[in-house]
Structure 1
Amino acid sequence: MLPKEMDIEKVGDFDLRFQLPDLRHAFRDFLGTREVGEFASGALAGAMTKAVLAPLETIRTRMVVGVGSKNISGSFLEVIDQQGWQGLWAGNAVNMLRIIPTQAIELGTFESVKRSMTSLQEKWKQNQSPKVQIGCINLNLSLSWISPVAVAGAAAGVVSTLVCHPLEVLKDRLTVNPQAYPNLGVAVSKIYKDGGVSAFYAGISPTLIGMLPYSTCYYFMYETMKKSYCQSKNKKSLNRPEMLLVGAVAGFTASTISFPLEVARKRLMVGALQGKCPPHMAAALSEVIREEGLMGLYRGWGASCLKVMPSSGITWMFYEAWKDILLVQKAHSL
């Protein structure tokens, strides 16, 4: 298709024309890139997973922040009795709005950073890593000791958290106190009125601190177990049930390691609802230990595992399936 042309001026027998660039081909090429396919796969996988597991997310949030019953079955019955079955999906609309960009950014960032780090290590190795001599000590500045998967996992968690944290705050307010925050519009208005823009980033410090060990361990465990299993079975990739299992184990391990920081994060994010908010993460952890003992740091851990394990497994299963559709099949058709 020819680009559009716009007449500017006619001088004698010469037509001076300005050609507007046709951006449609560039836009179509951009949509066909690997990065866009990975971001789209992450968004679709996150949306489908949350639609299935929203009730477990509701119960998990209530138990972590200490609202209602202290056991899983009691929380389910309590929510159903007070709000009906739809109460199990309280805040799910904003949860879907949150998870789509979060999973897209997180998984897309992970894949991009992992490729970049791997490529950098290969180039560094080919060009011979530089050496530094300090007195009689020679230091070889090699990048081989750095795990591209670990770095990519940490980057994925940090980037997605910085971008999508306000949506996490909104989701928790709608889930924990639907009477005070009946819908998204009211929640945005009240939170902004109470604390301004900074209120949407309540708990960002413990979130970032907690996200680093969780995200790093989560992606490292998944990639390591996947690679080891494929090598032991002499196969190129996992099938869908194997992805489900490996993803669930990775999520369980990462969640168990970082769960106390998750408890502190939730305390800070919804503390204003109870009229008291710890000033920082250390104070939140001390408050939990003082009120409930060391076991309080793992209150809601069972519900969290019930949510995290299927969520992790299903997300990886959907993500790999969408990548096959958007990337692998497209590559074969070219």
Structure 2
Amino acid sequence: MSSSNSKTKTPSSLSLCNSKPQPQEGNMALESQPQKNKYGHGVFGDVYSIIKEMEIDHHNNSTFDFQFPPITNFLGSREVREFISGALSGAMTKAILAPLETIRTRMVVGVGSKNIAGSFIEVIEQQGWQGLWAGNMINMLRIVPTQAIELGTFECVKRAMTSLHEKWESNEYPKLQIGPINFNLSLSWISPVAIAGAAAGIASTLVCHPLEVLKDRLTVSPETYPSLGIAIRNIYKDGGVGAFYAGISPTLVGMLPYSTCFYFMYDTIKESYCRTKSKKSLSRPEMLLIGALAGFTASTISFPLEVARKRLMVGALQGKCPPNMAAALSEVIREEGLKGLYRGWGASCLKVMPSSGITWMFYEAWKDILLVQNGNPL
């Protein structure tokens, strides 16, 4: 009986039967009869039947079960919400403080009046009130990704460095012995906040520096660059892609002390103040004041580098662009003395202090909305 059944089976049915467990004797006759392929005939019918079997296995929780992560999980992650909080805080801050940014940029690069009140009057007389918001469109386009990247990177790197620091200390950090001298390779001297601040400044600068160049050109020389499109075309025509990264080296050098000090000061003062007052969090006015103090300190320390950076970025407009940062600093000292390194410092503090305070206040507020109210602890 088995021999006759084997003659009636087709090669394809043999391959399918061999891949399944052997039937019991009671079902031998039923299994031995060739079954009609209800999905079709030929190669395509066999392929379709295999696909249908895979679908059945999928419903039976087999190894073919695969699903893409829902987009809501991605948008609801802590990192994304921190990036969004940074973007919103930056946009709201720049919308309020755009006139101060305009005056600060003009004074730093030496355009027009040398005092704050005179610069305000000069801009209004020449361009009207809207002149105080010159370059604000590109400034808004710049600050949204800049603040998102900077604050988001700061939070991520801070958590990663803190976790690494704790694991390093708990696992008894390595020891190095050179002769009779033992060295404990501890990370206690490295501040996770300082590392995170430096990383935040570098990341945002590398990504958003071309927007900074465009903003400065539109602010300083609106007659040469009346619109964003014309500015992009003329800058590319004059120097190619590299022109959008004019002054990138001094920007990175100047950003390191500023960003490191800014985040370190804010985080340190915040924790010390909360510990002294036995508080878990700051009020909005306290965030505003501590953020302003952090911005003032960081700006004062790094301001000479900021002057050199601005000179390099817009030097081409005046037909004399220093070749490097050291040459820019030497040029300022030669023309104006040491006080020239802090020309525009008052206007800078007038802009940086409220900007820093408002940014932190808005950022912490948006984190409360997007993180705490959604069940994510800060």
1: CA distance, partners of 2:73 / 2:260: 32
**Residue 15 of structure 1: how far off its partner (Å):** 5.5
2: CA distance, partners of 1:168 / 1:57: 12
Runs of 4+ that moved beyond 3 A: 17-23
1: CA distance, partners of 2:147 / 2:66: 34
* CA offset digits 1:201-255 (Å, max 9, x no partner): 1111111111111001000000010001101110000000000000000000000
Corresponding residue for 2:60? none
Q: How does 1:1-334 map to 2 (within 5 A)?
A: 10-11=45-46, 14=49, 16=51, 23=68, 25-331=69-375
* CA offset digits 1:129-166 (Å, max 9, x no partner): 01111111111111111000000001100111011100
Q: Could you say if the C-alpha distance between residues 278 and 116 of structure 1 is closer, same or farther in structure 2, counting changes exceeding 3 Å?
A: same
The letter of the residue matching 2:46 is: V
**Residue 117 of structure 1: how far off its partner (Å):** 0.5
Partner secondary structure for residue 375 of structure 2: helix
Q: Are the equivalent residues in 2 in contact too, given 1:102–1:160 (CA < 8 A)?
A: yes
Q: Could you say if the C-alpha distance between residues 139 and 90 of structure 1 is closer, same or farther in structure 2, counting changes exceeding 3 Å?
A: same
**Residue 14 of structure 1: how far off its partner (Å):** 2.1
**Residue 27 of structure 1: how far off its partner (Å):** 1.7
**Residue 13 of structure 1: how far off its partner (Å):** 8.0
Q: Could you say if the C-alpha distance between residues 11 and 216 of structure 1 is closer, same or farther in structure 2, counting changes exceeding 3 Å?
A: same
2: CA distance, partners of 1:163 / 1:192: 18
Q: Are the equivalent residues in 2 in contact too, given 1:9–1:16 (CA < 8 A)?
A: no
Corresponding residue for 1:4? none
Q: Are the equivalent residues in 2 in contact too, given 1:9–1:15 (CA < 8 A)?
A: no
Q: Please tell me the root mean square deviation across aligned C-alpha atoms, in Å.
A: 1.7
Q: Could you say if the C-alpha distance between residues 332 and 271 of structure 1 is closer, same or farther in structure 2, counting changes exceeding 3 Å?
A: closer
1: CA distance, partners of 2:376 / 2:84: 19
The letter of the residue matching 1:185 is: G
**Residue 176 of structure 1: how far off its partner (Å):** 0.2
Structure 1, unaligned stretches of length 5 or more? 1-7
Partner secondary structure for residue 111 of structure 2: coil
Q: Give 1 or 2 for the bigger CA radius of gyration.
A: 2
**Higher RCO, 1 or 2 (CA under 8 Å, sep at least 6)?**
1
Corresponding residue for 1:5? none
Partner secondary structure for residue 11 of structure 1: helix
Partner secondary structure for residue 132 of structure 1: strand
2: CA distance, partners of 1:332 / 1:299: 45
2: CA distance, partners of 1:190 / 1:148: 42
2: CA distance, partners of 1:13 / 1:52: 63
2: CA distance, partners of 1:124 / 1:191: 49
2: CA distance, partners of 1:124 / 1:22: 36
Q: Could you say if the C-alpha distance between residues 220 and 332 of structure 1 is closer, same or farther in structure 2, counting changes exceeding 3 Å?
A: closer
**Residue 11 of structure 1: how far off its partner (Å):** 2.2
Q: Are the equivalent residues in 2 in contact too, given 1:58–1:89 (CA < 8 A)?
A: yes
2: CA distance, partners of 1:144 / 1:185: 50
The percentage of counterpart residues that share the same residue type is 78
The letter of the residue matching 2:346 is: G
2: CA distance, partners of 1:13 / 1:255: 69
* CA offset digits 1:27-67 (Å, max 9, x no partner): 21011111001000000000000000000000000000000
Q: Are the equivalent residues in 2 in contact too, given 1:95–1:171 (CA < 8 A)?
A: yes
Partner secondary structure for residue 163 of structure 1: helix
2: CA distance, partners of 1:61 / 1:12: 69
The letter of the residue matching 1:297 is: L
Deviates more, 1:117-126 or 1:13-22: 13-22
The letter of the residue matching 2:310 is: K
**Residue 10 of structure 1: how far off its partner (Å):** 3.7
Q: Could you say if the C-alpha distance between residues 95 and 12 of structure 1 is closer, same or farther in structure 2, counting changes exceeding 3 Å?
A: closer
Partner secondary structure for residue 321 of structure 2: coil
2: CA distance, partners of 1:222 / 1:16: 59
2: CA distance, partners of 1:264 / 1:82: 27
